[in-house]
Structure 1
Amino acid sequence: MKPSQNLLALGAALAVAASAAMAQTPSAQDLANTYPPGLDLAGMDKAVKPGDDFFRYANGHWLATTEIPPDRSGWGIGADLTELTNRRTQDLIQTAAKAAPGTEARKIGDYYASYLDEAKIESLGLKPLQPTLSRIAAIKDKKALAGEFGRELRADVDALNSTNFYTDHLFGLWVEQDLNDTRRYAPYLLQGGLGMPDRDYYLSATPRMEKIRAAYKAHIAKVLELAGHKDAQAEAQAVYDLELKIAQAHAPRVESEDVLKANNPWTRTDFARKAPGLDWTAFFTAAGLEKRPRFIVWHPKATAGESALVASQPLGVWKSYLAYQQINHYSGVLPKAFSDERFAFYGTTLSGTPQQQARWKRAVNSTNNALGMAVGKLYAAKYFPPESKAKVQAMVGDLIAAFRVRIEKLDWMAPATKKEAERKLSTLKVGVGYPDHWIDYSTLKIVPGDALGNAQRAELFEYRRNLAKFGKPVDRGEWAMTPQLVNAVNLPVRNALNFPAAILQAPYFDPRNPVAMNLGATGATIGHEISHSFDDQGAMFNADGALKNWWTPSDLAHFQASGKALAEQYSKYHPFPDLALNGEQILSENIADIAGLNAAYDAYRLANAGKEGPAQQGFSGDQQFFLAFSQSWRETRREAALRQAIVTDGHAPEEYRADTVRNMDAWYAAFGARLGEKLYLAPAERVRIW
């Protein structure tokens, strides 16, 4: 998927394990990106009319002939670049293992090698997790239970990238610039506690969801059985019933995306009154938040509902729930039976993936999660030289200039709104490739051979690193993504963007390609992220990141009307007979797609002195632009994975994101799309937000 969008001295045994892994996987030392320059003509299907199905016109042969690898839920350019990046990262990590003990590089190597040492993990069994499980078993009352919830509270690194805020802990914590006071950080409390991706998995009455629920209950029972619980079936039913009650208290996806409903400042004393049931004093003390006088509660209904459940549900059920969640959460660093069982449900049942990824790939992912910026420092130094950064920064500058011109020419936007939009553009903090400063991992202890302990300490390190932000100036330059991630993100609360190095490579961005192709592919993505500062959510944040609507009432009414039309357009797409897209759920991303594509088109035209670019590979400049855009969304997914994305993702599936072109007059002129063809929209029906 092309995104738009958050753990070591080697002994002899570990050295053997690492050497074995190296022998089994191809080296990335001389691996280069082998995408040839230009459009992929062989991947097209020119028998399809562009006006009927532009995505298949651009990608039809590739779709018909591509098989999804058995360890993947989907495949496309983004997945291919992720594979390439992971192999490069693996090489960097293995080289880091040779560094001097105690250095940051050696921590990277030791963490990775410990994760790879399956023999050691197998021999230890559940012993590394036993202190946690014994602590849970010793809980005697609801006050101690509240303390356990607080002790296990963790920073939700994905909160910057997703408004769903999914976490398997009862609550999640997000430490970020205050919505109402941009001078300080605020603690945001988020709903959590579910073992499946979304409340709909518990509440939807469709036959498919009922089957998934049955499989999930069996999964809980199997996990508890593997852990030696004698009455695993009964415990599993009780745990599931508890999660069902939590799901019933959760806010739905669309509501969770509404930042106005999320801006709920509570004082410490408010919690006992507004969300009785949980001993909040014990919770905050155990969480290290006892000195925080004020919180922003993103999901007040869920917070109250989950707190009430702490009081109403039996202590024994909560203890079973906590034990299951801990084992399930750390299954990747537990014996193979636990890891296999987790994959059977989350990989195969939920996503349709038949085969688990090789251990080395999982080790790379885990190392990235634990020491992501340390690994990213190595990756950026080798694979993103200063000249690459300069070229992309220039492209960003061109796109910002294009946005500025588009805003100036809008006939529906009032001068006062335009002035604020210009101020927001001028203060936009754009990060390209890698951050200006790196995380200091010197206090993170990595122990060779202690895979589970390393994972636990890394999570705790990240949590404490976030708590340490309180009382310090807000750092708008802090990155939410690592350089080795194939993704990009807009952070509206900081008015900032991140474009990691890994997404800034061919075929998304290739200096050998004409400007039409680069701006159609990567330029549209950069424009997408810039536009998030001016979409239905971005319009609520001013240039400083404060939650302050800067639109006049008439401007906002026009924008909302256009957004409603776009939501209706996307809600008509039915990937499956029984499942349509939710236009409201994906509205922000679809607005950004339209705005980003328009800005990228303007930038491409400006780069060619206002004219169409030169023809190449048998296509005009405009055709190259739109084909590069559509080919950049090249992706195929397994049915289960696609269904899951439709329910939980704030983005439309790739095929429908490519269909954004049907709202641009220039696309009709380039490909001759006409009335009667499936994608055709009458001029009055084309959504023209920007």
Structure 2
Amino acid sequence: MRFNPSVCIAFVAIVTASCNNKPSTKDSGVPERTVFFDKSGMDTTVNPGDDFYRYANGKWYKETKIPASQSSWGTFNILADDNIKNLHGILDSLKTLSPAEGSKEQKIGDFYASGLDTVTIDKKGYDPIKPELAKIAAINDAQQLINFCADAYKEGSGYLFGFGVGPDDKNSNKNLAYFNQTGLGLPNREYYTKTDSASVKIRAAYGKYIAKLFILTGVDQAAAAKNAADIIKLETAIALSHSTPNELRDPVKNYHKFAVSDLQKKSGMDLNAIFSRMGFKTDTILVGQPKYFITLNTLLKSQPVALWKKQLTFMSLNSSANYLSQPFQDARFDFYGKVLNGQKVQKERWKRMTQIVDNDLGELLGQLYVDKYFTSDAKKRMLDLVNNLQTAYKDRIEKLDWMSPETKKKAIDKLNAFTKKIGYPDKWKSYDDVEIRRDTYFDNALSVSKHDYSELLKRINKPVDKMEWGMTPPTVNAYYNPSFNEIVFPAGILQFPFFDKNADDAINYGAIGAGIGHEMTHGFDDQGAQYDKNGNLKEWWTPQDAARFKTKTAAIGKQYDDYVVLKDLHVNGSLTMGENIADNGGIAIAYQAFKNTAQGKSDKKIDGLTPDQRFFLSFAQLWRSKQSDESTRMRISADPHSPDIYRVNGTLSNTEAWYKAFNIKPGDKMYKPETERIKIW
């Protein structure tokens, strides 16, 4: 399935595990929760109109330290960490079983066990990838190099071509092969071009990491350093062909449909031969960033084969490092964990393996997870919330003062056409061709990769299966996919503090309700609004309405551009545009839906707080977090989500009901005159 971050918009930067905080489950024996709000974490010495984020979370923020194994810590991380323990409990329980060969219990249990067998893994060193390194060493010319890159896809690797399969953006019912820019070891082109001191230090550390991988394979230090310098120079040339993170957000600019014969002439590459070696035939493909492939072809011809062999050797070592012996894992962590993210130590091995099993065999582990931790009552309650927000959204669209009746009708048609996926898939994926053994960790991971690639090939030029999911059931996240026109809420996120079937409506609507509204609004943000109700990239707005919408989105971009992080580092209002629109729309829709409930219509206080105050505090406490400076810098450069403080303060400064709930007045730092409060949806 094509799961491209540029079109599948997640609620939060991907959390690599899932959640469960003291759940009320089918058989866990844990008492049901009765307290749903953390008053102890507030700092009531802060004026809520000056900094509502600190007012809601200040005491927690002052007292919280980021664990050494984390780059950030907050609600999402805590839930993810708790749920790793639940998933670990499931995996650990399989030790005492003797499951049938090929069963889901055998595959996930043995995969997990193989990853914990560090004695065997360390004994093998980098032996598992020596056959691939030998193939790279045997390359003699540019054609052999291209052949290797293509052949490697069938072996579970694949380099330089950025290949995938997914819906044609302008014909969402048909899958096409697509190609995107790739070839970099740093997050994006800015890491190669920026000259500030932080970027220079990162590139220096990256060079040391590259050299370290070569040294671990027996290359002497001087030669390894030369290899690293050459590779960074080559990657810099590649990076200059890359679109920026901002540019990647434009679905029109990243849609290029080619007849293969035409692209062959344009790129100068024998694409039919490449595709044949990759294992498929087609006469039509999508290319996200043609400039990359034109530059790649030029570089393949102009740069020495010996340099490309160094690059491929590094790419092989880098992509495999976490599946090799401890020195390779440590080298990768020292750069990607410490330097880029600010982690001090690696997570425990069992936690990392739990996450890998969830990532690689998620719909096998997910079946055991939902059996234990997800109830039909929770699914029903969640569906009620979704339906209530959908009704509120329809009402808001009908009352918009800036949109014509013609466009309103099409917007409501799209809203009504949303597919709602809650908890887990109706049909589980099959992993019948995945072979797992307890003593072959690297080969197990390779078998999963080969399976994933085989599944991609089966989809080329075939109808799209819109029942597929892009996240595993235990994931703490949610997403909207414009090609499917769907909102998706895995079981992992449907737990406290996002959701509890026993919580009062203020808590649920302020938390998961805002999340539901957020994902719905992604269907109408600056990206999602370019797709029609059937998931096709198609203009459905009147020109006048499109112009008014663009004016409003520009205003929200300017608002977030002005927010400062880490001294002079600003939020990127263009990169975060879609998420900011979704945050603002989400809270507005959730609040309106909440006001339709009995609690929303009352003034009865709980814990000394009115229903409206509990609603907004529930929302604010959902986003409590602390982040390392390193992680913050990387997120500002690459993450389409604003920092959590501005997901709260930026959003609420535009929300009229919040002003009334906390008596916000002129002179308060967050106060904005009513005429300056940005209202889109």
TM tier relative to shorter chain? over 0.9
3-state SS of paired residue (1:260): coil
Partner of 1:270: 262
Which of 426, 433, 436 does residue 446 from structure 1 map onto? 436
Q: 1:673 aligns with which of 656, 664, 673?
A: 664
8 Å contact kept, 1:37–1:512: no
- Answering whether residue 240 of structure 2 is matched by residue 248 of structure 1, we say yes
- The aligned counterpart of 2:66 is 68
Aligned equivalents of 1:80 and 1:197: distance in 2?
Answer: 25
Matches of residues 455-494 of structure 1 in structure 2 within 5 Å? 455-494=445-484
Output one character per residue of 1:249-286: Cα deviation in whole Å (capped at 9) or x when no partner: 1100111110010110012123332223x443342222
What are the within-5 Å matches in structure 2 for residues 174-573 of structure 1? 174-230=164-220, 231-276=223-268, 278-289=269-280, 291-573=281-563
Deviations 1:517-540 (A, max 9, x none): 110011000110011111111111
Conservation of the 8 A alpha-carbon contact between 1:148 and 1:283: no
> Which residue is 1:648 aligned to?
638
The answer to whether the 8 A contact 1:37-1:507 is kept is no
- Looking at structure 2, the residues matched to 33 and 142 of structure 1 have their Cα atoms a distance apart, in angstroms, of 65
In structure 2, do the counterparts of structure 1 residues 445 and 426 end up closer, same or farther at CA, with 3 Å as the change threshold? Answer: same
Distance (whole Å) between structure 2 residues aligned to residue 481 and residue 40 of structure 1: 29
Q: Could you list the runs of 5+ residues in structure 1 that have no partner in the other structure?
A: 7-27, 157-166
Q: Distance in 2 between matches of 1:168 and 1:650?
A: 27
> Contact 1:154/1:459 (CA < 8 Å) preserved in 2?
no
Q: Report deviation, 1:582.
A: 0.8
| Letter in structure 2 aligned against 1:94 | D
Using the TM superposition, give the Cα deviation of residue 30 of structure 1 relative to its aligned residue in structure 2, in angstroms: 5.0
Distance 1:452-1:609 versus aligned 2 partners, 3 A rule: closer
Deviation, structure 1 residue 390? 0.9
> CA separation in 2, counterparts of 1:306 and 1:153?
18
Task: Quote the residue 1:45 is aligned against.
Answer: 43
Counterpart of 2:139 in structure 1 is 139
Residues 68 and 637, structure 1, Cα contact 8 Å, conserved in 2: yes
Distance, in Å, in 1 between the alignment partners of 2:27 and 2:79 is 16
Distance in 2 separating the partners of 1:464 and 1:378: 25
Q: CA deviation at 1:472?
A: 3.3
* Cα-Cα RMSD: 2.0
Question: Using the alignment, how far apart are the partners of 1:613 and 1:261 within structure 2?
Answer: 50
Give the TM-score of the pair, scaled to structure 2. Answer: 0.93
Deviations 1:397-444 (A, max 9, x none): 111111111111112211121111121122111110111111100111
Change (3 A) 1:439 1:602: same
Distance 1:509 1:600, change over 3 A: same
Instruction: Please state whether the residue corresponding to 1:584 is helix, strand or coil.
Output: coil
Q: Does the 8 Å contact 1:183/1:474 carry over to 2?
A: yes
Partner of 2:5: none
Q: Which moved more, 1:521-530 or 1:307-316?
A: 307-316
Q: What fraction of aligned residue pairs are identical, expressed as a percent? A: 38
Give how far 1:118 is off.
Answer: 0.5
- 1:683 has 2:679 as partner: no
- Deviation digits for residues 536-560 of structure 1, max 9, x if unmatched? 1111101111111211111111111
Q: Secondary structure at the match of 1:253?
A: coil
* Residue identity matched to 1:643: R
CA distance in 2, matches of 1:614, 1:445: 59
Residue identity opposite 1:638 in structure 2: S
- 1:342-393 CA distance string (max 9 Å, x none): 0000000111110101111111111122211111111111111111111111
Runs of 4+ in 1 over 3 A off after TM superposition: 2-6, 28-36, 152-156
**1:38, distance to aligned residue in structure 2 (A):** 2.3
Between 1:388-397 and 1:178-187, the stretch displaced more is 178-187
- Counterpart in the other structure of 2:17: none
Give 1:18's aligned residue: none
8 A Cα contact 2:483 2:536, kept in partner? yes
- Whether the 8 Å CA contact 2:115–2:441 is kept in 1: the answer is yes
1:447: how far off?
A: 2.6
CA pair 649-613 structure 1, distance change in 2 beyond 3 A? farther
CA distance in 2, matches of 1:584, 1:471: 34
Kindly state the Cα deviation for residue 182 of structure 1 after the two structures are TM-superposed: 2.6
AA in 1 matched with 2:35:
P
Q: The residue matched to 1:438 in structure 2 has which SS? A: coil
- Structure 2 CA distance, aligned partners of 1:112 and 1:501? 22
Mapped to 2, the partners of 1:312 and 1:644 lie a distance apart of: 32
Q: Deviations over 1:313-360 (max 9, x none)?
A: 111111111111111111111110000010000000111110101111
Moved more, 278-287 or 39-48: 278-287
Distance 1:94 1:172 in 2: 36
1:261 is paired with a residue whose SS is coil
> SS state of the match for residue 482, structure 1?
coil
- Indicate the SS of the match to 1:94: helix
Corresponding position: 1:581 with 2:579: no
Instruction: Note if contact 2:231-2:310 (Cα within 8 Å) is conserved in structure 1.
Output: yes
Judged with a 3 Å threshold, the aligned counterparts in structure 2 of structure 1 residues 522 and 385 are, in CA distance, closer, same or farther, namely same
Give per-residue Cα distances to partners, 1:287-319, cap 9 Å, x unaligned: 223x12111111122222223222221111111
Once residues 333 and 172 of structure 2 are traced to their aligned partners in structure 1, the CA distance between those partners, rounded to angstroms, is 42
2:641 & 2:625 partners in 1: Cα distance?
14
TM-score, structure 1 as length reference:
0.92
2:480–2:486 contact (8 Å) kept in structure 1: yes
Structure 1 residues 439 and 592 mapped into 2: Cα distance closer, same or farther (>3 Å)? same
Instruction: Assess if the C-alpha contact under 8 Å between 1:531 and 1:592 holds in 2.
Output: yes
Q: CA deviation at 1:498?
A: 1.3
Deviates more, 1:81-90 or 1:181-190: 181-190
Task: Compute the displacement of 1:608 (Å).
Answer: 2.6
Matched with 1:661 is 652
Residue aligned with 2:147, SS: helix
Q: Evaluate the alpha carbon distance shift between residue 110 and residue 29 of structure 1 in structure 2; reply closer, same or farther with a 3 A threshold.
A: farther
Quote the Cα distance in structure 1 between the aligned partners of 2:675 and 2:463. 48
Match among 579, 594, 603 for residue 593 of structure 2: 603
Name whichever of 183-192 and 147-156 sits farther off: 147-156
1:68 aligned partner, one-letter code: I
In the alignment, the residues of structure 2 paired with residue 654 and residue 442 of structure 1 have an alpha-carbon distance, to the nearest angstrom, of: 41
Specify the SS of the correspondent of 1:183.
strand
Cα distance change on mapping 1:488 and 1:81 into 2, 3 Å: same
Stretch deviating more after TM superposition (91-100 or 238-247): 91-100
**Structure 2 Cα separation of the partners of residues 206 and 333 of structure 1:** 34
Aligned residues: 656
Letter of the 1:443 counterpart: D
- Would you say the 8 A contact 1:168–1:193 is kept in 2? no
Instruction: Find the residue that maps to 1:182 and give its secondary structure.
Output: strand
| 2:484/2:535 contact within 8 Å kept | yes
User: Aligned partners of 2:236, 2:260: CA distance in 1, in Å?
Assistant: 28
C-alpha separation between the residues in 1 aligned to 2:241 and 2:639? 20
Q: Residue 231 of structure 2 aligns to a residue in which SS?
A: helix
Which segments of 5 or more consecutive residues in structure 2 lack a partner in the other structure?
A: 1-9, 15-25
Q: Is the Cα contact below 8 Å between 2:41 and 2:60 reproduced in 1?
A: yes
Deviation at 1:77, TM superposition (A): 0.9
